[in-house]
Amino acid sequence: MLIGTILRKKGSEVTTVSPEATVRELLAKLAQHNIGAVVVSSDGATITGIVSERDVVRHLHDHGAEVLDQPVSTIMTPDVRTVGLGDRVDELRKIMTTHRVRHMPVVEEGRLVGIVSIGDVVKSAIEELETEKASLVDYLHR
């Protein structure tokens, strides 16, 4: 299965936050959209970084509540791994597992076009297994 197939099913909406937004504003977006990570972008198309709930928790632990009023750029991960629409989900699963990444922005022609989470990857694996099972059961009943 291709990454583009996942995005066609789930949609391509990506929540972004500007690098200048405060961590407090980031938390509001995470809660409002019930998501675990946000792409950091000044224009909604180019990627400056990515920031997750884990980043917030770690920085709160290390630096205390003053982190909440700092810009997102101070806690984001600036080196973002990305994936393309034509990349295979099984390869993405390996990358996410190896590098302990739970969210991967999808980029096409240098522009942000979606985001895939580990949940999306697991869901696609389950769907593939269910399809294979149905085919095998059909084959055995013929």
Tally of CA atoms within 13 A in the half-sphere of 133 that contains its CB: 6
Q: Which residue has better confidence, 45 or 137?
A: 45
d(CA 58, CA 68): 12
d(CA 120, CA 68): 29
Please say if the pLDDT value at position 87 is more than 90.
yes
CB atoms within 10 A of CB 120: 20
pLDDT tens for 8-60 read 988 888 999 999 999 999 999 999 999 999 999 999 999 999 999 999 999 99
How much is the pLDDT for 1? Answer: 86
- Domain extent, residue 71, equals 3-140
Cα 78 to Cα 1, 72, 89, 111: the distances in Å are 29, 11, 24, 16
- Which pair of tokens denotes residue 51? 């920031």
Could you give the percent of the chain with pLDDT greater than 70? 100
Q: How many domains does the chain have?
A: 1
Q: Among 56-65, 96-105, 120-129, whose mean pLDDT is lowest?
A: 120-129
Query: Which among 95, 104, 101 has a CA at the least distance from the CA of 39?
Result: 104
Residue 72 sits in a domain of what CATH number?
3.10.580.10
What are the start-end ranges of the H helices in 15-104?
23-33, 53-63, 89-99
The pLDDT-based confidence of 128 (bands split at 50, 70, 90) is confident
